[in-house]
Structure 1
């Protein structure tokens, strides 16, 4: 066994046992234990970690801990570019897309509303989510920290908020999504692209009163539903405006 000293910063403390939070503490480690193994053994999913310093030097998850090592573990930095220091992941994801677990159906719909490709099925097993994330380079969204500890999941977020709108704001803040949002691009049900259709194509697929009051329509070619800019759309647009920080144009 070897003994190392750990210090976790900011929101990573939420995952620790209370006596260990916001302070340095010593911990016995198996000989040749990796930084990733010990961080997760203490309760912190590796996907929540952005930077590890061992004795002041940036290291990767695979770094083997030695007797007397001092380990500092940091979450995402909001206002400091640390890209030259990073050692914990090989590369960022160039395309932001998600897979959400069974408890986050409301968030999945709101992310689709914002234009982010988001897979969701409340029957997805954890192993299936892990496979999707690995095969399709998707960010895993979950309230289950054990799911984020799975070895092949490289990008993920533990969602702290409980209500869908608060969860959406949390993801926009943590992942800086505002600049990438393309609202009203995807079907909230199918995650498929929406396309504009002429008014006559909506006949028989939208109520007569709606056809009288509206001239612009879009459809999903998967579920065949037709959408228009009614009161529900106005409420959704107000939400999108508030999370993106700018007025969004109808698409």
Structure 2
């Protein structure tokens, strides 16, 4: 015989498509004693964005079994609320400042690298490969695919609400509180390698004629050997970074 529990979602968890246009307090039908994580994800909310779960006003973890007539409250990882010690699931496993992005987010990958964060991206990653990289290298998954974040071996992740680059980057910076951790121009935009300053004479033969004439300060990726210098593109990138530094929720 089916049992029911009331599950209420708070804050940004109501952004997910499955909850769009619905009351944030749902009557969930189930049989047996499923883990509360299974119930939350069956409704359409992936576990990496959940921070606190209260069942009958008591904090529980994802594995806690659901019982008939339980009252469940689910709070997001970015909730503007001070929780007592032991309530926050995210606090037990703080997110690293390393990322892996799905195949549709190439521009965002370059932007996150521009800010100096270790960012894995290839345009042919499968969902399985992303989940494996996230687990093996302890990376945050960034995606527009809600289903990807439900992989059980993904601990940290974020579903991007916007489809626009600057808004996406602001979401990531705000959600993971990255503003004080920027290290601009230390990662290669193309391959994610580290960038170091190099003497002009070392890269001289690889430079376009005008660049060779007008610029003297150069940087090179230690992986793919791509060369960077502070041309007009550098000023545009600085403006982009400054905008992110000043942006707020």
TM-score interval for Structure 1 and Structure 2 normalised by the shorter chain: over 0.9
Q: How far off its partner does 1:20 sit?
A: 3.0
SS in 1 for 2:54: strand
Aligned to 1:175: 176
How does 1:71-220 map onto structure 2 within 5 Å?
71-82=72-83, 84-86=85-87, 88=89, 90-93=92-95, 95-220=96-221
**Count of residue pairs the alignment pairs up:** 244
User: Separation in 2 of the partners of 1:119 and 1:200?
Assistant: 31
| Residue 25 in structure 1 maps to residue 31 in structure 2 | no
Taking structure 1 as reference, are residues 31 and 222 closer, same or farther at Cα in structure 2, changes over 3 Å only?
Answer: same
Q: How far off its partner does 1:83 sit?
A: 6.6
Q: Which residues of structure 2 form unaligned runs of 5+?
A: none
Per the normalisation by structure 2, the TM-score is: 0.92
Residue by residue over 1:212-236, the C-alpha shift from the partner in whole angstroms, topping out at 9 and shown as x without a partner, is: 2222110112222211111101101
User: Separation in 1 of the partners of 2:186 and 2:20?
Assistant: 43
Q: How far off its partner does 1:211 sit?
A: 2.1
User: Separation in 2 of the partners of 1:102 and 1:21?
Assistant: 33
User: Separation in 1 of the partners of 2:132 and 2:84?
Assistant: 28
User: Separation in 1 of the partners of 2:80 and 2:15?
Assistant: 21
| Residue 52 in structure 1 maps to residue 53 in structure 2 | yes
Q: How far off its partner does 1:238 sit?
A: 0.8
Residue by residue over 1:184-224, the C-alpha shift from the partner in whole angstroms, topping out at 9 and shown as x without a partner, is: 00000010000101121221111121122222110112222
User: Separation in 1 of the partners of 2:131 and 2:70?
Assistant: 32
Q: How far off its partner does 1:245 sit?
A: 3.1
User: Separation in 1 of the partners of 2:94 and 2:43?
Assistant: 25
User: Separation in 2 of the partners of 1:211 and 1:19?
Assistant: 59
Q: How far off its partner does 1:21 sit?
A: 3.2
Is the 1:60–1:87 contact (alpha carbons within 8 Å) kept by the matching residues of 2? no
- Higher mean C-alpha displacement, 221-230 vs 75-84: 75-84
Taking structure 1 as reference, are residues 78 and 176 closer, same or farther at Cα in structure 2, changes over 3 Å only?
Answer: farther
User: Separation in 1 of the partners of 2:86 and 2:160?
Assistant: 26
Per the normalisation by structure 1, the TM-score is: 0.92
Aligned to 1:11: 12
Aligned to 1:249: none
User: Separation in 2 of the partners of 1:181 and 1:18?
Assistant: 34
Residue by residue over 1:56-114, the C-alpha shift from the partner in whole angstroms, topping out at 9 and shown as x without a partner, is: 11110001011111001111235434371435354213x31000000111101100000
- Higher mean C-alpha displacement, 5-14 vs 130-139: 5-14
Residue by residue over 1:12-71, the C-alpha shift from the partner in whole angstroms, topping out at 9 and shown as x without a partner, is: 11223445333x231112221111000000011111111111111111000101111100
